[in-house]
Amino acid sequence: MNLEVSIGGLKMKNPVMTASGTFGYGEEYEEFLDLNLLGAIVVKGLSLQPKEGNPPPRVVETAAGMLNAIGLQNIGIERFVSEKIPFLRTLNTPVIVNFFGDSVDEYSEAASRLDGVEGIHALEMNISCPNKQAGWAAFGTDPKVTCEVVSAVRKRTTLPLIVKLSPNVTDIALMARVAEDSGADALSLINTLTGMAIDIRTRSPKLANIRGGLSGPAIKPVAVRMVYDVFKAVKVPLVGMGGIMNADDAVEFIMAGASAVAVGTANFINPSVAGEIALGIAAFMEREGIGDIRLLKGAAHAV
Amino acid sequence: MSRAFRAEIRENLPLNRNHKLLTLAPLDPMSEPQPGQFYMVEVHEGFDPLLKRAFSLFRRTPQGMQLMYRLQGRGTAILGNMRPGSVINMLGPLGRGYPLPAAGETPIIIAGGIGIASVFSLIETVPARAHVIYGARTRDDLFMLNELKEISKGLSVCTDDGTDGQQANVLQMLDQVLGAHPQELADAVVYACGPRPMLRALSVMTKAKDIKAYLSLEEHMACGIGACLGCVVRAKDTGTAAEDKDRQGTYQRVCKEGPVFDADGIVWE
Ligand SMILES: Cc1cc2nc3c(=O)[nH]c(=O)nc-3n(C[C@H](O)[C@H](O)[C@H](O)COP(=O)(O)OP(=O)(O)OC[C@H]3O[C@@H](n4cnc5c(N)ncnc54)[C@H](O)[C@@H]3O)c2cc1C
Ligand SMILES: Cc1cc2nc3c(=O)[nH]c(=O)nc-3n(C[C@H](O)[C@H](O)[C@H](O)COP(=O)(O)O)c2cc1C
Ligand code: FES
C-alpha cells in the first residue's frame, strides 16, 4: 500500500502532519506518540524576534470548538534553531517551519534565515497575520499584498514553500491563485476563522484580545468546502486542515482535494491522535481495497 | 512513560449540593503525582464540550487518586453524572507542584473554597507540621475537617458568614496565626490555593512581611502539556534568570512552569 505523498517537492511517508501552533515544537508530544509515525511536523509559528503574545485569557471553549488569541507568542528563530532543532533532527520525520512577520521585509528576512538551516525541510508561510505597514490588515486578505509578500519570500528561499491561506476572505480560490502565481509550491488551508464570544453575565468579551481564531470540529464543513473550491482553482498540492478529529475526517479532506492533511485542535483533546490518524487512514484504505492514497485525492470531484 | 491514561471511576461521591469527590483507578500505568500537580480530564462523549478540564490531585490512594471538584458549568455537570464503572481519558500528573518545605521551615497552608483540593495532599505530605488555614463562604462548603485536624499541627477555620470557625477571611487568619507563633514562624513558608483576589492579597501581605510564599494559579487551558500557550500568566523567574529581575516578567504557562508559582515572581495584571 502506498501512503507516500509529495508536497511541493517535500516527500512525506504519509499525508498526516501537525497544524502549526497546536503541536508546540514537537518535543512536547514525544511521550504521547511515536513522532516518526507522522508525515511531517509543523512547528509553532516563528518570527525573527521572539514575540510575547497577547494577555490572558487567550483561549475559550465554544460549541464543538475553541477560540484562541495566543498572539503568535514564540521564542524567535535564533532560539528555535539552537534549542529545538537538535531534538527535531534526531527524528526520521521532516520538519516544516511555520513563520510570519509584520512587514514584507521581516517575512523575507525570516525566510532567508531559515533557508540554510539543516533539519528544516520546508517552510509554511502564515499570511493570516496583521501587516504593520498597511494598518494591520492581514497579509492574506488583499491580493496585491499577498502577491508582494509571497513573491518576496519566494526569492529568498530554495526550500519548498507552502503558503497558508486565511479563510477570512470572500473568495479563497482567488487568493489561492494569487499565492500560486507568486511562487508557492503548495498551499495549506484553512487557518482559524475570526470569531468572538461574550460573557453575558459580565457583558464583556471572553478573550482579553476580544477577537480570536475559531478552530476544531465546528469549522470542518467550512474547511472542507474551501479545500474543494481551491482544488478546482489551482494546480499546486494542498494541505487540508480545520477540525480534523479522526481518520475519517482526514479522508474527507483528501477526497475534497487535499494531498496531505494537518491535525490541529484534536491534539489538545488526545495528544496521540495524529499518529492514530496516520494508522487510521491506512486501515481505511485496507478496508476499501485502495492501494495508493493518491487515488483518493479529489475523489469527490468525480461526481 | 506517557502521561496519557484511562481511569475507571470507582466512586463519584456528593459532598454537598455542588461539590463531589471522584475516586479513580487507573487502567494503565500511572506516574507518581506530587502535591499541587493536576490532571486534564475528558468530560465529553462527542466533541462537545470539546476540551479536557483541569483538576488538582486531591489525594493519592492505594488504587489511584481522588479529585475533588465543584460543579461549575457544563463539563463538571457531565462529570458529576458519571457512574462508577465508567472509564475516562486523562492526562497527568501535569505541571510543577509545591516545593516541599525544608527541614527547619514551618509550612502555613492556606485554602480558600475549592482550593482545598490542591493543598490537601501537601498537608498530608508534611504530617503534623503544617498550620492549616481553611476559609469558605459557609459551613456547608468546608470539607474533610476531621482529617485536616488529624494531619495538621493546627487547623484554623473561617467562613464569610460565621457559620463555622471565625467570621473572617484567610488573610485575617494568617495574621492571627503569625501573631500567635512568632518564634517558629520566623521560618514560615506559605502555600495557598484559592480565588485569585485572595491569592493576590496574600502575595501583597507575604511580601510586606518578607515571608516566602507559593501560590497555585488557574488559567483557561486547551492542551495542559505546554503546547498551545493558552494558559499563560505574567511572572518573573525568581532565582535563575537574573535578566528577568528588572523586567515586567514574561508569560509563563500555568500548565508547565506552574500551576504553583513563587508569589514574589507573579506580576498581577
Ligand atoms: C491547574 C488547575 C487545577 C484545578 N483544580 C481544580 C480542582 O481540583 N477542583 C475544581 O473543582 N476545579 C479545579 N479547577 C477549575 C476547573 O478546571 C474548572 O472549574 C472547570 O474546568 C470548569 O469546567 P465546566 O465545564 O464545568 O465549566 P465552564 O465554565 O462551562 O467551562 C468553560 C470553559 O472554561 C474553562 N474554565 C472554567 N473555569 C475555569 C477555571 N477556574 N480554571 C480554568 N479553566 C476554567 C473550562 O475548562 C472550559 O474550557 C482547576 C483549574 C486549573 C487550571
Ligand atoms: C492554539 C492555536 C495556535 C495556533 N497557532 C498558529 C500559528 O502560530 N501559525 C499558524 O499558521 N496557525 C496557527 N494556528 C492555526 C492552526 O494551525 C490550524 O490552521 C487551525 O487551528 C485549524 O485546524 P484545527 O481546527 O484542526 O485546529 C493555531 C491554532 C490554534 C488552535
Ligand atoms: S494549556 Fe496549553 S500551554 Fe498550557
Query: For ligand 1, what atom is nearest to the CA of residue B255?
Result: 1
Q: What is the pTM of this model?
A: 0.96
Q: Band the pLDDT of A264: cuts 50, 70, 90.
A: very high
> What's the mean pLDDT in A139-147?
93
Query: For residue B153, what pLDDT is reported?
Result: 94
Give, in order, the Cα–Cα distances in Å from A64 to each of A21, A261, A275, B43.
19, 20, 22, 13
Q: What is the pLDDT of residues A30-51, one digit of tens each?
A: 999 999 999 999 999 999 999 9
Angstrom distance (rounded) from CA B263 to CA B99: 13
* Whole-number pLDDT of residue B247: 60
Q: Decide if B2 and A21 are in contact by the 8 Å CB cutoff.
A: no
Assess whether B154 and B206 both reside in one domain: yes
Distance (angstroms) between ligand 3 centre and the Cα of B199 equals 21
Neighboring chain B residues of A268 at a CB cutoff of 8 Å: 51-52, 222-224, 227-228
Task: Please report, as a single letter, which amino acid is at residue B2.
Answer: S
- Domain co-membership, B178 together with B68: no
Is B212 found in the same domain as B137? yes
CB burial string B106-128: b at 16+ within 10 A, e below = bbbbbbbbbbbbbbbbbbbbbee
ipTM for the whole complex: 0.95
B78: domain CATH number is 2.40.30.10
Q: A141 alpha carbon to ligand 3 midpoint, in Å?
A: 29
CATH of the domain at B114: 3.40.50.80
pLDDT for the residue B238 = 58
> CA angle A27-A33-A35, nearest 5°?
60
Cα of A268 vs centre of ligand 3, distance in Å, is 9
Query: What is the total count of domains within chain B?
Result: 2
Residue B226 touches chain A, beta carbons under 8 Å: yes
Considering B35, B59, B94, which residue would you say is the last residue of a domain?
B94
Residues of A annotated as catalytic (active site), given as ranges: 129
Instruction: Indicate the residue among B94, B121, B143 that finishes a domain.
Output: B94
Could you tell me the end-to-end alpha-carbon distance of chain A, in angstroms, rounded to an integer?
Answer: 25
Query: CB of B253 closer than 6 A to ligand 3?
Result: yes
Structural domain range at position B133: 106-219+249-265
B112 and B12 fall within a common domain: no
Query: Are B89 and B55 part of one and the same domain?
Result: yes
Please tell me the distance from the alpha carbon of residue A65 to that of residue B222, in angstroms, as a whole number: 11
Task: Quickly count: other Cβ atoms within 10 Å of residue A135's Cβ.
Answer: 7
Residues B170 and B257 grouped into a single domain: yes
| Cβ-Cβ contacts under 8 Å, B1 against chain A | 31
Look at residues A114, A83, A79 and name the one whose alpha carbon lies nearest to residue A97.
A114
Residues B42 and B140 both lie in one domain? no
Beta bridge partners of residue B225, listed in sequence order: none
Is residue B237 a part of any domain in this protein?
no
Give CA–CA dist A250/B226, Å, rounded.
Answer: 25
Do residues B54 and B36 lie in contact, with contact meaning Cβ atoms separated by under 8 Å? Answer: no
Residue B47 and residue B165 in one domain: no
Cα-to-centroid distance, B248 and ligand 1 (Å): 27
Q: pLDDT band for A130, please (50, 70, 90 cuts).
A: confident
- Asked whether residue B176 falls in the same domain as residue B62, the answer is no
Cβ within 8 Å of A, B 204-223: 219-223
Alpha carbon distance B27, B6 (integer Å): 5
Question: To the nearest whole angstrom, how far is the Cα of A99 from the nearest Cα of chain B?
Answer: 16
> What pLDDT, on the 0 to 100 scale, is given for residue B246?
52
Ligand 2 in reach of A46 Cβ (< 6 A): no
Nearest to B114, CA basis, from B196, B182, B177, B185: B196
In a domain? residue B134:
yes
- Beta bridge partners, A138, equal A130
CATH 3.20.20.70 is the classification of domain A5-54+70-196+214-302: yes
Q: Which residues of A touch B221 (CB under 8 A)?
A: 59
Q: Show me where the domains of chain A are located.
A: 5-54+70-196+214-302
Choose the final residue of a domain: B45, B74, B94.
B94
* B16 falls within a domain: yes
Of A189, A281, A290, A197, residue with least CA distance to A239: A189
Please, are residues A37 and A279 in contact by the beta-carbon 8 Å criterion?
yes
Chain B residues with CB-CB distance to A59 below 8 A: 220-222, 228, 230-231
The C-alpha angle B46, B49, B51, rounded to 5 degrees, equals 105
Q: What's the one-letter identity of residue B57?
A: L
Q: Are residues B130 and B259 in the same domain?
A: yes
The more confidently predicted of residues A176 and B246 is A176
Please report, in tens digits, the pLDDT of each residue of chain B (269 residues total). 899 999 999 999 999 999 999 999 999 999 999 999 999 999 987 899 999 999 999 999 999 999 999 999 999 999 999 999 999 999 999 999 999 999 999 999 999 999 999 999 999 999 999 999 999 999 999 999 999 999 999 999 999 999 999 999 999 999 999 998 887 778 999 999 999 999 999 999 999 999 999 999 999 999 999 999 999 999 987 555 555 555 678 999 999 999 999 999 999 98
**Which residue type occupies A155?**
K
Q: Are A39 and A16 in contact (CB under 8 A)?
A: yes
pLDDT in tens, A184-239: 999 999 999 999 999 999 999 999 999 999 999 999 999 999 999 999 999 999 99
3-state per-residue secondary structure call for chain B: CCCEEEEEEEEEEEEECCEEEEEEEECCCCCCCCCCCEEEECCCCCCCCCCCEEEECCEECCCCEEEEEECCCHHHHHHHCCCCCCEEEEEEEECECCCCCCCCCEEEEEEEHHHHHHHHHHHHHCCCCCEEEEEECCHHHCCCHHHHHHHCCEEEEEECCCCCCEECCHHHHHHHHHHHCCCHHHHEEEEEECCHHHHHHHHHHHHHCCCEEEEECCCCCCCCCCCCCCCEEEECCCCCCHHHCCCCCEEEECCCCCEEEEHHHECCC
**Pocket lining: B222 vs ligand 3, CB cutoff 6 Å:** yes
Inter-chain CB pairs, A–B, below 8 Å: 102
**Backbone φ and ψ of B78, nearest 5°:** -65, -45
Domain match, B34 and B153 both: no
DSSP A26: S
C-alpha cell at A72: 503568535
Q: Do B114 and B147 belong together in one domain? A: yes
Q: Does B49 touch chain A (CB under 8 A)?
A: yes
Q: What integer pLDDT is reported at residue B45 of this predicted model?
A: 76
Interior angle at CA B44, CA B41 and CA B46, nearest 5: 145
pLDDT exceeds cutoff 80 at A132: no
> Would you say residue A134 has pLDDT above 80?
no
Which DSSP symbol is given to A197? -
All residues at 6 or more sequence positions from B221 whose CB lies less than 8 Å from its CB, including other chains: A59, B40, B51, B52, B54, B228, B230, B231, B254, B255
